[in-house]
Amino acid sequence: MKFLYDDPRMHALLRIWAGELPLVVVGHFFWNSGDILQMSQKGLLRVLLYEALRKHPKLIPIVLHRHAISDISANSQSWSLSKLRQVFDNLATQQIVQVKLCFFIDGLDEYDGNYAELVEIFKRHAESPNVKFCLSSRPLVVFDDCLSGYPSLRLQDLTREDIRVFVSERLGKDQRMLAMTLEEPGKVAKLISDIVDKADGVFLWVDLVVTSLLSGLQDHNQLSDLQNRVDVLPSKLEDLYEHMLNFIDPYYHPESSRIFQLFRAAGNNIEVIDLYLANQEDINFALKSSIEPKSAEEIGRMSREMEALLETRCAGLLEFYDASHAHSQCSPLKTEDRVVYIHRTARDFLEQPRIWSKVETWSGKSICDPWVLLLAGRVLRLKFITSNMEDKFGDVQLVQGSIDPRPWPVIRDALSFASHRLDEMLTFRISLLDEMDRTMLIHWATWVKKERTVDSWPDKIFESPLMTYDHQSSMLSLAVQAGLIDYVRDKTEHDLDLIKKKPGRPLLDYTLSCESVCELASEEMVAYLLTHGASPNQRFNPGNRTPWENALLLFSERLVSLRSTRFEIRPNQFEGFLLKWVRIYTLLVQHGADPNAYCQIPKGYSTRNYYSALEIFQTELKGWKVTIFADRRGLFREDEIPIQERNEFRRI
């Protein structure tokens, strides 16, 4: 579909259809491996509307007339699905602006919703002489039924000869295959025909099979061996994936499992060099390595070694993706080069519970907490950063093959990986965080300190309008921000003065009023600090505010933001957000915070400038299916209070 969408010949043909009228061509590609919007009807309509209006702005006042957006507030950043449908209807049916619209929509089978309902949108507007849709999907009965009677084609009926040419050309480049063709042309022709027949139009299947045959030729397979390979390989793609997985040498299973788990834990998105650094057999390698920059040649060697491992350890299901398509065998790989699935169907295959369970069992007795290994890899990356770059904070010109010298994204990743808790790896995880701190203190003493907007390196990680930079920030305060409760507990349980008497900004304020790796504050962190001496009422400069007042201000700011994007999240998610802050509110009130204390509220929340903490919650909990009671001790859900005691509480 992308080929059709981009091909100039298609646009030339559409130009003939459009005649003298303006032509607007828009594409959308559903993807079930992406985020929610990439596989939703809402995401589809947003893309189609945005691109159509961007390409032909004269449509904007017609499509977005006042009636269409009457219930969308000025602060709204997202429209409801019903509103998007209404506006798309306006676009497809308007006749004021003369224009031809053609929509290319790929991967209907990857849409996460009711297929028939989606198809009805296209069918309803396809009747217009000014609108065309080109849709693609894997064969599903629902689409055959819903779209019967409309023009259609099967790609496998059209690509048979292309596949034959592809197979012949790739195999024909091998000298041994050329010799076999001269000796036994009939058998070679049969081999190629069998591949074409079994492929059933699936180019990916063909590519994998031809790669297997070329590997066999390198091992001096005879023609009969090659024919046997084709005969035994499954004709269905998923079965072929499992066949490939089963052929991984059992000796490599522990490392194969580790690589697959690292890739998945990294969100199926990791640079080649980062996978190499995390895939160290010696788990103490990150602790023992010295702090010294690596040359472009060294980085290139590591990356090429990882590329070779992907071939032998991952059965071809993961592959190296050259981001520039420009490096040669002798030039170093650049750090933006990534590891990717060979195809989205490979991801779907590995994500099946039966298959993933099999991959996990391969790790055997080897240590394989992927998040700890990824954390170790990030610590190594910090140690290998070049130290001669002038700008570590803005845009930099990277030397080809060198590691990006900016430490902050690396540290954020490290904190995210450290937040995944596995008790048996606790000591090692804490040691890695201490090593990251030691590494950054050394960097700070040499080049980072040139950046004068912060006083200590942890201050650069989580920036907030409420943040107060002070020289007392440390790895401990950073761990509080990131919700790393095990690290904080390890460092403070034998020295509670670190909590009670920290100069400058209190540790409690770090977790309450700064966005972190965690979503909002960590309840567990708030509870730990409060029960070990932290005060919600400690005033500190600048601003002479308390952690309690800062928390209320951030909460109200977040409400303003969520209110403008409420259609982006489900009602129970918004309710969960409120209830989480109810629990944090209660913890703070139980430890001395005043529920009637007033704080200044940001613009956009209300017409009033000041609200008490209790008023904020009373306002926001209205309309939600949750009953909350309040007294001086805080806020409580209905099911948390015995019936006979509810008269002592105020229902809000």
Q: Are β-strands 270-271 and 338-341 bridged in parallel, bridged antiparallel, or unpaired?
A: antiparallel
C-beta separation of 141 from 112 below 8 A:
no
From the number of C-beta atoms within 10 Å of its C-beta (0-12, 13-18, 19+), residue 295 rates as middle
- The residue written with tokens 């036994």 in the block is 184
> Domain spans of the chain?
2-152, 158-235, 250-449, 541-652
Which region, left, alpha or beta, applies to residue 401 given φ > 0 means left and ψ of -120 to 50 means alpha? left
Distances (CA, A) of 272 to 230, 241, 277: 32, 23, 9
Q: Report the alpha-carbon distance of residue 261 to residue 279 in Å, rounded.
A: 10
Residue, of 265 and 647, whose pLDDT is higher: 265
Q: Report the alpha-carbon distance of residue 515 to residue 518 in Å, rounded.
A: 8
Q: Report the alpha-carbon distance of residue 343 to residue 308 in Å, rounded.
A: 19
Pick from 40, 230, 18, 62: nearest CA to 118: 40
Average pLDDT over residues 454-477: 67
C-beta separation of 510 from 480 below 8 A:
yes
> What is the structure's pLDDT at 518?
41
Structural tokens at position 242: 């499992």
Average pLDDT over residues 414-423: 85
pLDDT confidence bin for 90, thresholds 50/70/90: very high
Structural tokens at position 310: 């992907």
Own/partner pairs, 574-580, CB within 8 angstroms, 24+ separation:
574/624, 575/624, 575/625, 575/626, 577/520, 578/617, 578/620, 578/621, 578/624, 578/626, 579/626, 579/637, 580/520, 580/523
Distances (CA, A) of 100 to 95, 171, 202, 259, 368: 11, 45, 33, 49, 56
> What is the structure's pLDDT at 583?
83
Model pLDDT for residues 267-320, shown as the tens digit of each residue: 888 999 999 999 998 889 999 999 988 888 898 899 899 988 998 899 889 988
Share of the chain above pLDDT 70, in %: 76
Of the listed ranges 130-144, 208-222, 225-239, 333-347, the least confidently predicted one is 333-347
Pick from 70, 73, 49: nearest CA to 59: 49
Average pLDDT over residues 247-257: 93
Kindly compute the dihedral angle of the four CA atoms of residues 544, 548, 549, 551, in this order, to the nearest 10 degrees. Answer: 120
